[in-house]
Structure 1
C-alpha cells in the first residue's frame, strides 16, 4: 500500500492506475462495488483510490459535530483489504476547493495521475462549488482516452446503502445494521490515554480512548471486540458517553474493559469494534450501584459475543 498526498511529479510506478473516486468514508459495501468496478474495468492495472483529507465537509463546515466513520489510517486499512495498492489522499484545502472541475480532470486525473480508467458512483461531484458531475466526467474522460465506469447505488431491503445511513444506524444504537452495511463491524481506532483510574478501583480497569473526529454513536454500553497492536483480538465491554455517575463534564469518550486481560495499554493504538448495543448510558446512585451494573453488563456482553462467535 502506497499513500501519496500530491498528484504532481509522481513516480511512474504510481501513475497509470485504474482509479476509484470518492470520499470512501466507512468503506462500506457500496464503496466495495465501486472498487470492484474499477478493477474490472482494467484488471491489468494497479487498483488505486483518489480521496481527500480532511473530508470536504470538515473543511467547509468545521463547526459541525464529528461525523467520520473512518479516519485516514482505518480507511487505508479497509481499502487495502479490498485490494487497493495506491491511495491518492489529496489535501482538501481552500486552494484545492477552488480548482475548476475541468482543471481537476485535466491536471489531476490526466496529467497528474495518468489515470487509465475511472470508476465512481452516479452522485460523484468535483471541482469548485461541486461544479462537475458524472456527465462532464464522462465527456472529458472519453476525449482523453480514459475509461469510465459509473456504478449504480447498492441497495438492500432498507434502501440505498450510504455512509449517511450507517451514521444514522450507529446514532440510533444499531451497530449490527452498520455491520451489515459495512461488511464488517464498525470500529473506533485510537490511542489509549490516561484517565482517572476509577475503573481500576471498582474492579473493572478500562482503556480510555478519546473519540476525536469519529462519529459519536448512541451513548451507552456495547459488547465489543478489541484488536491489540500485535493483531490479536480480545472480547470486552465498553461505554461510550460522558459517564454521568462520576463525571460532570461534557466530553464523551470510549472506555473499554477487556475480558481476562492484564497488561499496560497506555499510549497503544487499539481498534474497538462495536457488535451490540446493550443499554443506554445512565446515572447511578453511587459507585456500588455502578459496579453492579458494570458486572451485569460484562456478563451480558460475554453472552452476546459468545452467541455471535465474535
Structure 2
C-alpha cells in the first residue's frame, strides 16, 4: 500500500480513483465493510483510496471531548494495508485544514490530486469548515464536477451500530471477547519493550514491559491471556503470553496502566524491540495480595489458564 502524508505527497497524474474518507479508528468490522464496498466501487478501472487523518479532529477542535484512540497511526496503516487498500492519504489535521471550506476540500484534496471519480461516505458524513459539508452538497458537486456519490450502509450488531465508541466501552470494562467480535481481531497495544523493576524476574515470571508511550487503547486493569508479537523480526513472530494490566497493587510505586507480558516457556531478550501485545481473554481483575507467596501461587494458576486458552 502506498502512503501519502499530505496532499502534496501525492504524485502528479495519480488516479483516477474511488475514495472513502474517515477516521477509521480501530478499523473494526463496520470499517471493513466500508473497505469491501470501496474495493467493489473501484472495480478494475479505479484506484481504491482511503483519506484519513493523523489524529482525531476533535484533538484540535474539542480536546475535552476527544476520546482515546483504539489504535495508533502506524497500527491503522497496517490494518488498511491488510484490507487491500491501494493507497492511503494521511491528512495532517491542523488549523488550515479545519478552516477549509467544503467546496475547496473537494476540489483541492479529492478531485485535483486524487482524480476522484467515485466517492463512498456515510449518511451522517460532515466535512469542511464548521462541518458545513454534507452528502447533499457532495451530490450537487458531483453532478457539476463529474463524480458519483454512494452512501454507505450501516453495519449493526444486536440492533446497535458497530462503532469505535462501543468498542471503547467494552475495552474499558475488560470485555475482551466482545470487543474482539466487533473488531474482527484481538485488540492490541503496540510499544517498545523497556526495562522495568524486574520484579517479575525475581518472582520467576520475567515480563516484557511496554513503554508508557504506547499505541492502542489499554483495556481495564486485570490479568489477560493473549500473545506477544515481536515486530522487530521479519516476519513477526507471535508467542503465547500472560498479560498484566494495571498498577500491580501488591507493590508500591508502580505507575498506573502498566502493560507487562510474560511469554510462556521462552527466554527472550526483547529490550528495545517493537512488539504488539494482543489480548484474547480476561482471566481476572487486579488483586492486592498480602505477601509474595500467595501472589506467586496465583500467577502460577494464571499461567496455566493462559496455556489452556492460547498456548
User: TM-score, normalised on structure 2?
Assistant: 0.92
The equivalent of 2:34 in structure 1 is 34
Deviating more after overlay: 199-208 vs 177-186: 177-186
SS across alignment from 1:283:
coil
CA contact (8 A) 2:6 2:91 kept: yes
Measured in 1, the distance between the counterparts of 2:36 and 2:27 equals 12
SS across alignment from 1:192:
strand
Matches within 5 A, 1:100-115: 100-115=101-116
Measured in 2, the distance between the counterparts of 1:224 and 1:171 equals 17
The equivalent of 1:77 in structure 2 is 78
The equivalent of 1:134 in structure 2 is 135
CA contact (8 A) 2:15 2:47 kept: no
- Which consecutive residues of structure 1, in runs of 5 or more, have no partner in the other structure? none
User: TM-score, normalised on structure 1?
Assistant: 0.93
Matches within 5 A, 1:4-43: 4-8=4-8, 10-12=10-12, 14-43=14-43
- Which consecutive residues of structure 2, in runs of 5 or more, have no partner in the other structure? none
Matches within 5 A, 1:239-254: 239-254=244-259
1:63 deviates by: 5.6
Measured in 2, the distance between the counterparts of 1:127 and 1:240 equals 40
1:64 deviates by: 6.2
Matches within 5 A, 1:256-275: 256-275=261-280
1:66 deviates by: 6.2
How many residues matched? 306
The equivalent of 1:292 in structure 2 is 297
In structure 2, the CA distance between the partners of 1:9 and 1:243, relative to structure 1 (3 Å rule), is closer
The equivalent of 1:232 in structure 2 is 237
In structure 2, the CA distance between the partners of 1:284 and 1:63, relative to structure 1 (3 Å rule), is farther
Measured in 2, the distance between the counterparts of 1:198 and 1:62 equals 37
From 273, 283, 288, the equivalent of 2:288 is: 283
CA contact (8 A) 1:66 1:215 kept: no
Runs ≥4 residues deviating over 6 A: none
Measured in 1, the distance between the counterparts of 2:303 and 2:282 equals 12
In structure 2, the CA distance between the partners of 1:283 and 1:13, relative to structure 1 (3 Å rule), is farther
In structure 2, the CA distance between the partners of 1:60 and 1:211, relative to structure 1 (3 Å rule), is farther
Measured in 1, the distance between the counterparts of 2:206 and 2:9 equals 50
1:16 deviates by: 2.3
The equivalent of 1:218 in structure 2 is 220
SS across alignment from 1:116:
strand
Measured in 1, the distance between the counterparts of 2:268 and 2:200 equals 15
1:13 deviates by: 5.8
In structure 2, the CA distance between the partners of 1:90 and 1:166, relative to structure 1 (3 Å rule), is same
Post-superposition Cα deviations, 1:208-265, rounded to whole Å, max 9, x if no partner, equal 1135353231111110112112212110110111112123355312110011111210
SS across alignment from 1:267:
coil
SS across alignment from 1:112:
coil
Matches within 5 A, 1:135-154: 135-154=136-155
Post-superposition Cα deviations, 1:157-184, rounded to whole Å, max 9, x if no partner, equal 2511111111111111111111111111
Measured in 2, the distance between the counterparts of 1:219 and 1:70 equals 18
Measured in 2, the distance between the counterparts of 1:33 and 1:129 equals 28
Residue 122 of structure 2 corresponds to residue 117 of structure 1: no
